[in-house]
């Protein structure tokens, strides 16, 4: 697959960034999801170690149980054993979602595109998003087919 350069003011998947509303590309939102997931797991690990260092249960409940650093190390290992596959699967699912979102749905009969929850002509899709004017032409295969149809009639 050919790498493409990100365009200024547009997301990597060629959808515009709405600067007025502050919305960003779906890729950025997805990486934010993974970042929140990682921060959540790191917070759980941090709470485990804070509990170990400060002895939170003994401060709150007055108990004499002190777990020791071995317990926090084991808790950290268990949390990482859960976090690593979860984050890896999330990244994989998000990558698959982006792959599928990059497809444009095109009507097989009228050739309109499905974009922004409506069906619009190709020309209306291209102009505002890519600052590209469109023109009509005929490809060599269709041209040969049309000539053949004219000769037959």
Is residue 16 over pLDDT 50? Answer: no
Statement: residue 20 has pLDDT above 90: no
pLDDT of residue 5: 38
pLDDT above 50 for 128: yes
pLDDT in the model for residue 66:
63
pLDDT of 87-126, one tens digit each?
Answer: 999 999 888 887 877 778 888 888 888 887 889 888 888 7
List pLDDT tens digits, range 56-75: 777 777 777 666 778 888 99
Res. 148 pLDDT band, cuts 50 70 90: very high
d(CA 146, CA 144): 5
In angstroms and rounded to an integer, the radius of gyration of the C-alpha atoms of the chain is 28
* 52 or 12, higher pLDDT: 52
Residue 65's pLDDT is: 64
CA distances from 14 to 34, 49, 53, 117, 126 (A): 22, 44, 49, 17, 11
Nearest alpha carbon to residue 7 among 133, 98, 134, 129 = 129
Look at residue 24 in the predicted model and tell me its pLDDT.
53
Within 8 A by CB and 6+ apart from 121, the residues are 111, 112, 113
């Amino acid at each position: 697959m050919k790498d493409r350069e990100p365009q200024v003011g547009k997301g990597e998947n060629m959808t515009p960034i709405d600067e007025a509303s502050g919305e960003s590309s779906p890729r950025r939102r997805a990486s934010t999801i993974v970042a929140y997931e990682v921060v959540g797991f790191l917070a759980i690990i941090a709470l485990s170690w804070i509990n170990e260092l400060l002895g939170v249960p003994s401060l709150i409940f007055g108990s004499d149980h002190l777990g020791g650093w071995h317990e926090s190390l084991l808790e950290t290992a268990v949390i990482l054993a859960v976090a690593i596959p979860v984050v890896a699967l999330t990244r994989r699912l998000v990558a698959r979602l982006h792959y599928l979102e990059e497809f444009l749905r095109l009507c097989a009969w009228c050739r309109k595109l499905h974009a922004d929850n409506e069906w619009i002509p190709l020309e209306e899709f291209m102009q505002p998003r890519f600052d590209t004017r469109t023109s009509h032409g005929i490809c060599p295969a269709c041209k040969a087919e049309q000539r053949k149809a004219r000769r037959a009639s």
